[in-house]
Structure 1
Amino acid sequence: MRVDGREIPVTGSLLQPRIRRTSDIVRVVAASLGVGVVVAGSLITRPEWLALERSVAKIVDFLSPEQSTLVYLIYGMLILALPFAIFIELVVRRQWKLLFGYGAAGLLAVLALSITGAGISTPKWHLPVPDRFDTFLSQFLDDPRWIAMLAAMLTVSSPWLPVRPRRWMWFLLLMFAPIHLVVSSVVPARAMLGLVVGWLVGAVIVWLVGTPALEVPLDAAVRVLAERGYTVNSFRVVRPAGRGPLLLATAVDGPESELIVELYGKNQRSFGAIRQLWRWITFRSSETAPLHGSLHRAVEHRALLGIAIGDLGMASAHQVAVASLNRGWMLYAHTVPRGTPLRKLSAQVLPGVWRSLVRLHDNQISHGDLRPDHVRMCQGDTLFNGFAAAEFGASDSQRQTDIAQLLVSTTALFGKHEAVSAAVGVLGESAVVTAASRLTKSAMPAGIRKTVPKWAKVMATAREEVREQTGHDRIGSEQLTRFTRNQVIQLVLLVALVYVAYPFFSQVPTFFSQLRTLNWWWALLGLVITAFTYVGAAAALGACADGLVRVRDLFLEQFANTFVATTTPAGVGGLALSVRFLVQAGMSTARATGAVALQQSMQVLTHLVLLVVFSVVAGTSTNLAHIVPDATVLYLAAGVGVGLIGAFMFVPKLRRWVNHSVWPQIREVVGEVVALARNPVRFSVIVGGSAVITLGKAFVLWVSVEAFGGGTDFVAVTIVTMIGGTLASAAPTPGGVGAVEAALIGGLAAFGVPAEIAVPAVLLYRVLTCWIPVALGWPIMRWMGEKNMI
């Protein structure tokens, strides 16, 4: 690089990777959303938009036909000349490399709107002038391909054009919609599509090729540092521009031999704005700093905090220059941090580090990003650097977050005992316990999560060590965000519940019309039996957990389990909730998972045994041929089963998966069942609880049928419940909604139950066994969450 007659070498790549060009990425996303909105509006609400456009056109129709034609002619000539004006501007400015992107953008935009089901439809632009000049212009003005071409070309060339011509060109292009309204016409929908498609094509090309903002103004940086008394000899790229600034190690002649120059470009500005907005939306107001209105203010804030901390003698570097450069870049230069990094020292320095943090807090300053690399020692003094997240006039919450961050950093470097002991010795137990509640992911900035290996495990270790050294039974987590994870999960579950319950709602009118024939005593009996099934489930899970959890809590957890299992496919949410519940009750994760797996295994085995028993009983008194598939289906199922067995035997990857993943789990479950058989009392409780669940649901369905007049015996209903439930369990819908009802209604009909009884009986059964427990499970789950039981 040559600046003012001097050759200054630059080592390293200054090019920013595409995945870090946030401004360009935001432009592509916005253009994609624009295409989606226009397409959706054209397909869904086009008639309403046409009516609105006609109404607006009548309101603004104040020109005579001759005046409208004149306006149309003038605008048409301008829009026809627009691409040539852009071309001339690029040639005058000698942007030769940009001409390729300019042409490619126009060609791709036209091609994108020329693709039809019958192939590529070429534009019908006739250059010979017809009888009427406005007819000649309308073929361009109303053609979406011309609008798309202009939008794509203008998007590609905009970053390279002067501000004033660029604004006038965009104004001229966007005026095509008002012009159509003024001349009492409706805006063509395909013209709007052409506008957004052209914008999208141009945005993608800009993202791939780049903009002038990517050209680093190192020559301007050299001149700024020269004004500060530093003559630049060379630049060396330490870190390319990306998530953070472009970091340069700069060799200089002056008071220092080397400086650190940080350059913030347009993409850093957009990323910072998005990050600030996201934190403002998701975090509580007391946890977030005031939003910076510009990149200049953000960099200036960092420099001013560095000066303030430097006045206390606690900054590892002093500021050299802060300046705005051309093409939207900002320069922040400071000296090389002095002192030895904390990671190279011993644990003996920890008390001094904590005392320095206290001094920083006493002066109303919080650091906000206490990763290990931002703490140094020089001649016994603790020095800090990296003040991008620092705040003057810090709140109590920000100071507590500092303590939590330093706990994580020191624990990772020196171990949990030394780190926590030093913190307790300087701050006291109360302050450390309060700050330990912020040992959460939300309080840890991205810098700590990147530089601290296994930071989540380190954070959990620090929290546990604080609890042990201070003697506290439990350290709760402080809520930093506006919405907790549980609240978000509950909202998602509610939305899922509405979705899965919709088929049921569509049948509610039929159900209510049949209520006049309902025997309410039978319905009340079904509700009592349903409650007993939850007692059986709680007893079975309690026995699998070795009786470590109270039966009352287990009973309540079953209702919350029903809510979660109904709103998640295949009931996986219910299994996860049970594991979480047992872990919160004091069991280890492995043991809790084993208890839930044992309970589910015994439930399946009990269900299969009862199915065989009742099938044998039903076979002697009931004709089962109408619910058993025919021989062809059985042979087909057997063939598929044999094929799967062969695939798992002869395909190496499947065989290894079975041997290393499936078979060890099967052996573990079988071993647990064998060990369980040696304890008759516990075995009986688990089997009895599992049988109560299966037989209880069969009783509820039988009672529901009797409530509407009856029509079959208990054995047949039990077969329908078990077979129908087994078939419906494979349904992808959460809670088996739709599949369960269809299977049960079909099964009852196969045993001769009339449809006018089977349909309301099944709906009553689902109300008793599913929807009432789900309605109770929602508030119970919230209550258990507040009590830290899940």
Structure 2
Amino acid sequence: MSRRVRGVSVCIVRLMRVDGREIPVTGKLLQPMIRRTSDIVRVVLAVIGVAVVVAGSLITRPEWLALERSVANIVGFLSQDQATMVYLIYGMLILALPFAIFIELVVRRQWKLLFGYGAAGLLAVLALSITGAGISTPKWHLPVPDRFDTFLSQFLDDPRWIAMLAAMLTVSSPWLPVRPRRWMWFLLLMFAPIHLVVSSVVPARAMLGLAVGWLVGAVIVWVVGTPALEVPLDAAVRVLAERGHIVRAFRVDRPAGRGPLLLATEVDGPEDEIMVELYGKNQRSFGAIRQVWRWITFRSSETAPLHGSMHRAVEHRALLGIAIGDLGMADSHQVAVAGLNRGWMLYARTRPRGTQIASLSAQVLPGVWRSLLRLHENQISLGDLQPDFVRVSQGDTLFGGFAAAEFGAAEAQRQTDIAQLLVTTTSLYGKHEAVSAAIEALGEDRVAYAARRLTKSAMSIGIRKSVPQWTKVMATAREEVRRQTGHDRIQSQQITRFSRNQIIQLVLLVALVYVAYPFFSQVPTFFSQLRTLNWWWALAGLAVSGLTYVGAAAALGACADGLVKMRYLLVEQLANTFVATTTPAGVGGLALSVRFLQKAGMTTLRATAAVAMQQSMQVITHLVLLVVFSVVAGTSTNLAHFVPDATVLYLIAGVGVGLIGAFMFVPTLRRWVNHSVRPQVKEVLGELADLAKDPKRFVVIIAGCGAITLGQALALWTSVEAFGGGTDFVAVTIVTMIGGSLASAAPTPGGVGAVEAALIGGLAAFGVPAEIAVPAVLLYRVLTCWIPVGLGWPVMGWLDKKDMI
């Protein structure tokens, strides 16, 4: 227990009585809710169960009902009297189940649990009683009707009764003996086969009641807790006493969380104080999830074999401590490893000896690296070399931790050790001293090879938490290794099964298939119209489409002050089409351009400003051309087809005013504008001012942006002409600029679906027949979107391989 007095946390010591002795325990033993992994997993599984039952009831309910009737006809071999007898026996048992649980809790004196028991049943019934008309009360008639089985069916067929039983049993299960708990769950789950045997279809609502009850009970267990949260300190005291360490007091040094409960323990014996680590079911479940996650995401050479249980994991750590201790390089030795009741594991060791290297000078670095090399020569890797786990005692380097250590380590794991120690020592002593000591002990080639593992995946969670600004330190160490070894570039090694770029490309490919589906559905109609296609006009449209990429590359190159060669800009624009089409509003294309300019040598701010300037000039050029062509078209051009309804305009204006107000009055948004947006806008305005002083560069940007807009319009016009024509170039240009711009605001990636609908509608408004407008728009999209997208996928891979994005 603890309380606060004038802002200071005061620990209250509680006494624990074990075998006639009172042992003080200082600190909080209870694990917080966010760290109860086992309970959280149970809640997640219960949510998934409810979702599956609801989805199955809504989507495939007729099929399930038919299947249940078929199964019931097959297994329903009992006569009517026999079925009634089975139903009566089971009904009486299931009706008595909640009272049996209640009696069991009273006999075991679980008074606090009775509140959770009642709350679970009440909430489960309430959850299934809420309807659109309010709360529907259960209609359970206590007077016995003419037939007793009819009375029982009121409960057995009501999902609220099943939900109440499931919730109560879930809450009380952790506190019940194993055998009664198993029989109670067996009895509850037997309602499905019992219904089938007596030739009665299992109602879907009963399965819903079971799922909802389990969810309610799982949530209450998570909030209230289970017996597994009660730390068996009395058993730990007896285990240590058997090994000659009489416990006098416990002090909580670290509450149970991501790691074990760490207790500083005063003892009478060979040591004055030892460290006791206690692992509960939550550590076991979290460790299992973490192991499975690493097995899925990391390559097989990067991960150790999976541990079958918490006992095996703790035992492995203790054995590695013994092996490293035999080499004289362990900062502590093992006292005890034992399994306790309620699923807990005990691991006791002496206090670490020696001084942490963070308190020592850089003179200890050569010895640290030589000690690591000696471990590697004995095929031992540590896997977690955070600063707290490296100590020096009388000139000898000692290591601690061992939770991630491996015996018979592969070369990949040894290289990871070197990379981790580079980060640790660089953060403590600076890049020059750390890298120089590593090269002196290991040699240039080995250090340069290990520096490829200076990546996030190779750094343990402990290093990321204990090393300030570890990403910056890691980049500094890699650059210093490159400088001292004379390498031009150190390529990061892929440790995970899939790199970040591969995952992004996979997501983009899935998005591409999704957004292309509407187009695929119209392909048969499109191919049926190809017999009337003029292929010369189609080739002209393809050539015009290619010119838009030349214009975009020229504009971006001019905005970037000509720092990138034109051929590379053309290639980047082709990859840009693929990314922009597979991401909503084309944001992926903007990000790719910024990344491309960064790799070309521009700073992040400068690259962002260049892309922003190009987009700004594109918008300005687009609007100017729209006004010009609208004037040229004259009064015959009816723009009402493209102007949204007045209600939509008012709604857009209201949203805009609301956003402006939010950015003015919300401090967080206002700071974001001042510190993030304002510098970039200022940079863009400065670039525009400089641009006005450079006519040649200004003309190139305007010409490039104009080529994009006019090229797209010309491509659509040639597509219309390819199927017979029907309108002039000016009208098609207005359709392209207005219809395409409005549709580009659609949330679909690349505007797929919205662009086609807007262009077909725009052409129809100017009198183009549907039999020409539909295939013309599809041809236009093939020329300007899908062919470049198909080429952009491999081009993007080539840019990634060349480290240009």
TM-score normalized by structure 1?
Answer: 0.96
Cross-structure match for 2:49: 34
Which amino acid is the alignment partner of residue 79 of structure 1? I
Which amino acid is the alignment partner of residue 538 of structure 1? A
Q: Is 1:594 aligned with 2:609?
A: yes
Q: Identify if the C-alpha distance between structure 1 residues 630 and 50 changes in structure 2 by more than 3 Å, giving closer, same or farther.
A: closer
Q: Secondary structure at the match of 1:785?
A: helix
Cα distance in 1, alignment partners of residues 130 and 706 from structure 2:
63
Q: Which of these residues, 289, 311, 320, is aligned with residue 296 of structure 1? A: 311
**Unpaired runs of 5+ in structure 2?**
1-15
Q: How does 1:609-688 map onto structure 2 within 5 Å?
A: 609-619=624-634, 622-624=636-638, 626-627=640-641, 629=643, 647=661, 662=677, 664-688=679-703
Q: Identify if the C-alpha distance between structure 1 residues 691 and 326 changes in structure 2 by more than 3 Å, giving closer, same or farther.
A: same
Q: Identify if the C-alpha distance between structure 1 residues 186 and 629 changes in structure 2 by more than 3 Å, giving closer, same or farther.
A: closer
Q: Is 1:399 aligned with 2:414?
A: yes
Cross-structure match for 1:141: 156
Q: Are the counterparts in 2 of residues 530 and 696 from structure 1 also a CA contact under 8 Å?
A: yes
Cα distance in 1, alignment partners of residues 150 and 802 from structure 2:
75
Cross-structure match for 1:556: 571
Q: Is 1:584 aligned with 2:571?
A: no
Cross-structure match for 2:335: 320
Q: Are the counterparts in 2 of residues 618 and 624 from structure 1 also a CA contact under 8 Å?
A: no
Q: Are the counterparts in 1 of residues 390 and 398 from structure 2 also a CA contact under 8 Å?
A: yes
Q: Which of these residues, 509, 524, 528, is aligned with residue 494 of structure 1? A: 509
Which amino acid is the alignment partner of residue 354 of structure 1? W
TM-superposed CA distance for 1:630, in Å, is 9.8
Cross-structure match for 1:451: 466
TM-superposed CA distance for 1:20, in Å, is 0.3
Cross-structure match for 2:103: 88
Q: Which of these residues, 98, 102, 107, is aligned with residue 117 of structure 2? A: 102
Deviations 1:541-573 (A, max 9, x none): 223223332322221211111111111111110
Cross-structure match for 1:485: 500
TM-superposed CA distance for 1:659, in Å, is 6.2
Cα distance in 2, alignment partners of residues 525 and 73 from structure 1:
83
Q: How does 1:122-271 map onto structure 2 within 5 Å?
A: 122-271=137-286
Cα distance in 1, alignment partners of residues 599 and 644 from structure 2:
50
Cα distance in 2, alignment partners of residues 639 and 545 from structure 1:
35
TM-superposed CA distance for 1:656, in Å, is 7.3
Cα distance in 1, alignment partners of residues 114 and 666 from structure 2:
55
Which amino acid is the alignment partner of residue 356 of structure 1? S
Q: How does 1:37-76 map onto structure 2 within 5 Å?
A: 37-76=52-91
Which amino acid is the alignment partner of residue 517 of structure 2? Y
Q: How does 1:423-572 map onto structure 2 within 5 Å?
A: 423-572=438-587
Q: Is 1:377 aligned with 2:392?
A: yes
TM-superposed CA distance for 1:686, in Å, is 2.3
Q: Are the counterparts in 1 of residues 385 and 417 from structure 2 also a CA contact under 8 Å?
A: yes
Deviations 1:3-37 (A, max 9, x none): 11111111101010000000000001111111110
TM-superposed CA distance for 1:649, in Å, is 11
Q: Identify if the C-alpha distance between structure 1 residues 202 and 608 changes in structure 2 by more than 3 Å, giving closer, same or farther.
A: same
TM-superposed CA distance for 1:107, in Å, is 1.2
Which amino acid is the alignment partner of residue 345 of structure 2? M
TM-superposed CA distance for 1:506, in Å, is 3.0
Q: Secondary structure at the match of 1:569?
A: coil
TM-superposed CA distance for 1:280, in Å, is 0.7
Of stretches 593-602 and 708-717 in structure 1, the one that deviates more from structure 2 is 593-602
TM-superposed CA distance for 1:149, in Å, is 1.0
Q: Identify if the C-alpha distance between structure 1 residues 60 and 747 changes in structure 2 by more than 3 Å, giving closer, same or farther.
A: same
Q: Identify if the C-alpha distance between structure 1 residues 659 and 388 changes in structure 2 by more than 3 Å, giving closer, same or farther.
A: closer
Cα distance in 2, alignment partners of residues 117 and 528 from structure 1:
61
Which amino acid is the alignment partner of residue 375 of structure 1? V
Q: Which of these residues, 18, 22, 34, is aligned with residue 3 of structure 1? A: 18
Q: Secondary structure at the match of 1:437?
A: helix
TM-superposed CA distance for 1:759, in Å, is 2.0
Cα distance in 1, alignment partners of residues 419 and 566 from structure 2:
38
Cα distance in 2, alignment partners of residues 662 and 255 from structure 1:
64
Deviations 1:719-751 (A, max 9, x none): 221222222232222112222222222322232
Q: Are the counterparts in 1 of residues 642 and 739 from structure 2 also a CA contact under 8 Å?
A: no
Q: Are the counterparts in 1 of residues 171 and 217 from structure 2 also a CA contact under 8 Å?
A: yes
Cross-structure match for 1:705: 720
Of stretches 560-569 and 506-515 in structure 1, the one that deviates more from structure 2 is 506-515
Deviations 1:424-460 (A, max 9, x none): 1111111111111111111111111111111111111
Q: Identify if the C-alpha distance between structure 1 residues 107 and 633 changes in structure 2 by more than 3 Å, giving closer, same or farther.
A: closer
Q: Are the counterparts in 2 of residues 626 and 750 from structure 1 also a CA contact under 8 Å?
A: no
Which amino acid is the alignment partner of residue 508 of structure 2? L
TM-superposed CA distance for 1:681, in Å, is 3.2
**Unpaired runs of 5+ in structure 1?**
none
TM-superposed CA distance for 1:155, in Å, is 0.6
Q: Identify if the C-alpha distance between structure 1 residues 695 and 739 changes in structure 2 by more than 3 Å, giving closer, same or farther.
A: same
Deviations 1:261-312 (A, max 9, x none): 0000010011011111111111111111010000100000000000000000
Identity %: 81
TM-superposed CA distance for 1:470, in Å, is 1.3
Deviations 1:191-248 (A, max 9, x none): 1111111111111110000000000000111111111111111111011111100000
Deviations 1:665-724 (A, max 9, x none): 334222212212333333332222222111111110110111111122212222221222
Q: Are the counterparts in 1 of residues 608 and 680 from structure 2 also a CA contact under 8 Å?
A: no
Q: Which of these residues, 326, 345, 357, is aligned with residue 311 of structure 1? A: 326
Of stretches 302-311 and 90-99 in structure 1, the one that deviates more from structure 2 is 90-99
TM-score normalized by structure 2?
Answer: 0.94
Cα distance in 2, alignment partners of residues 503 and 764 from structure 1:
14
Q: Are the counterparts in 1 of residues 105 and 114 from structure 2 also a CA contact under 8 Å?
A: yes
Cross-structure match for 2:802: 787
Which amino acid is the alignment partner of residue 580 of structure 1? R
Q: Secondary structure at the match of 2:218?
A: helix
TM-superposed CA distance for 1:777, in Å, is 1.1
Cα distance in 2, alignment partners of residues 168 and 141 from structure 1:
18
Which amino acid is the alignment partner of residue 203 of structure 1? A
Of stretches 712-721 and 142-151 in structure 1, the one that deviates more from structure 2 is 712-721
Q: Quote the RMSD (CA, aligned, Å).
A: 2.2
Q: Secondary structure at the match of 1:734?
A: coil
TM-superposed CA distance for 1:61, in Å, is 2.4
Cross-structure match for 2:6: none
TM-superposed CA distance for 1:576, in Å, is 0.7
Deviations 1:403-436 (A, max 9, x none): 1111111111111111111111111111111111
Q: Secondary structure at the match of 1:247?
A: strand
Q: Secondary structure at the match of 2:391?
A: strand
Cα distance in 1, alignment partners of residues 227 and 556 from structure 2:
65
Aligned residues: 789
Cα distance in 1, alignment partners of residues 802 and 679 from structure 2:
37
Deviations 1:516-548 (A, max 9, x none): 221111011101111111122122222322333
Q: Are the counterparts in 2 of residues 579 and 596 from structure 1 also a CA contact under 8 Å?
A: yes
Q: Secondary structure at the match of 1:735?
A: coil
Deviations 1:456-506 (A, max 9, x none): 111111111111111212111111111111111111112211222222233
Cα distance in 2, alignment partners of residues 639 and 378 from structure 1:
71
TM-superposed CA distance for 1:131, in Å, is 2.0
Cα distance in 1, alignment partners of residues 34 and 655 from structure 2:
47
TM-superposed CA distance for 1:189, in Å, is 1.0
Cα distance in 2, alignment partners of residues 209 and 634 from structure 1:
51
